[in-house]
């Protein structure tokens, strides 16, 4: 039987997993999900994890309607906020004459949809229609315009996710301590003020302190050193084998005493 992964409470597009629902006849774990439209839907976990199942079925119906509308006119979706947002992104990535090309296409950011129409449909399916006051943002700022890397965000949410400007440390939120040359200071900006997070002998520790504060303050909008690939994985703590040995020795001593 396939190993069961706990999906309880997780969101997959329009579905939020609310309970276990046994297994199907092939042994796949089934999950009860609540759809954003209010329907309850039971699905195998595999469909959720692969992205194949995104709603109770309501999404497919809406998309079919959107497709229908798109086919009826030359540019059925032209003029919608999603079409405009993606159209701008397309220009920034592909048109060297575009004002912002140097920051996008010019540095390798790609528009990874087969067409603008396809982009609109995929984006609405993945993150919904554009909420008022929000614009299209890439989750990973070094990543491409593609379904898994997009969200709607306000300007200030986007500013927090701004591109890393290399500094002396080469880490986000970390500077060299001017008074004490062999220490690194971690700082984070909050409402225009710099908050001191501590000083560290080790550069990576300072970067980790920044990351922890960024996640605390900005949640999913945080752009961390880890996300930017500037931090090695947490050092794996070796199993304290010697401790086990000592414990055994202690037991042995107690037994022999």
**Tokens at 78, concatenated:** 């032209």
Q: Which stretch binds Zn ion (CB under 5 A): 27-35, 85-93, 128-136, 198-206?
A: 27-35
Residue 209 is a binding residue for Zn ion (CB under 5 A): no
Helix axes 116-127, 58-72, angle to 10 degrees: 160
Residue 225 is a binding residue for Zn ion (CB under 5 A): no
Binding residues for Zn ion, total number by CB under 5 A: 6
Q: Which is nearer to Zn ion, 61 or 107 (CB)?
A: 61
Query: Binding to Zn ion (CB under 5 A): which residues in 34-63?
Result: 35, 37, 39, 55-56, 58
Q: Which is nearer to Zn ion, 39 or 100 (CB)?
A: 39
Which residues have C-beta within 8 Å of that of residue 149, sequence separation ≥ 6? 138, 139, 140, 143
Q: Which is nearer to Zn ion, 66 or 206 (CB)?
A: 66
147 exposure class (CB count in 10 Å sphere: 0-12, 13-18, 19+): middle
Q: In angstroms, give the least distance from the CB of 39 to Zn ion.
A: 5
Q: If you write DSSP's letter for every residue of 130-146 in order, what string do you get? A: PPTT-EEEESSTTS-BS
Distance CA 221, CA 226 (A): 13
Q: Which is nearer to Zn ion, 55 or 158 (CB)?
A: 55
Count helices and strands (H / E) in the chain: 7, 9
> Which of 111, 166, 117, 161 is CA-nearest to residue 140?
161
Q: In angstroms, give the least distance from the CB of 45 to Zn ion.
A: 18
Distance CA 76, CA 60 (A): 18
Q: In angstroms, give the least distance from the CB of 14 to Zn ion.
A: 6
Q: In angstroms, give the least distance from the CB of 36 to Zn ion.
A: 6
Q: In angstroms, give the least distance from the CB of 17 to Zn ion.
A: 14
Q: Which is nearer to Zn ion, 33 or 85 (CB)?
A: 33
Q: Which residues bind Zn ion (CB under 5 A)?
A: 35, 37, 39, 55-56, 58
């Amino acid at each position: 039987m396939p190993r069961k992964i706990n999906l309880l409470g997780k969101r997959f597009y329009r579905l939020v997993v609310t309970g276990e629902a046994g297994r199907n006849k092939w042994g796949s774990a089934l999950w009860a999900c609540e759809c954003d439209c209010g329907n309850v839907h039971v699905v195998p976990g595999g469909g959720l994890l692969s992205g194949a199942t995104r709603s109770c079925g309501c999404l497919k119906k809406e998309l079919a309607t959107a497709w229908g509308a798109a086919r009826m006119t030359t540019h059925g979706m032209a003029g919608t906020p999603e079409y405009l947002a993606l159209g701008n992104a397309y220009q920034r990535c592909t048109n060297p004459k575009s004002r912002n090309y140097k920051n996008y296409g010019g540095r390798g950011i790609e528009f990874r949809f087969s067409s603008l129409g396809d982009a609109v449909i995929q984006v609405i399916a993945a993150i919904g229609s554009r909420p008022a006051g929000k614009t299209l943002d890439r989750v990973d700022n070094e990543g491409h315009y593609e379904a898994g890397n997009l969200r709607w965000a306000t300007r200030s949410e986007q500013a927090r996710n701004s591109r890393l400007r290399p500094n002396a440390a080469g880490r986000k939120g970390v500077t060299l301590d001017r008074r004490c040359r062999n220490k690194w200071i971690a700082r984070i900006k909050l409402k225009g003020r710099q908050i001191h997070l501590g000083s560290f002998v080790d550069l990576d520790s300072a970067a980790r302190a920044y990351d922890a504060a960024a996640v605390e303050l900005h949640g999913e909008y945080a752009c961390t050193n880890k996300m930017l690939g500037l931090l090695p994985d947490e050092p794996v703590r070796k199993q304290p084998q010697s401790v086990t040995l000592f414990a055994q020795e202690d037991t042995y001593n107690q037994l022999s005493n």
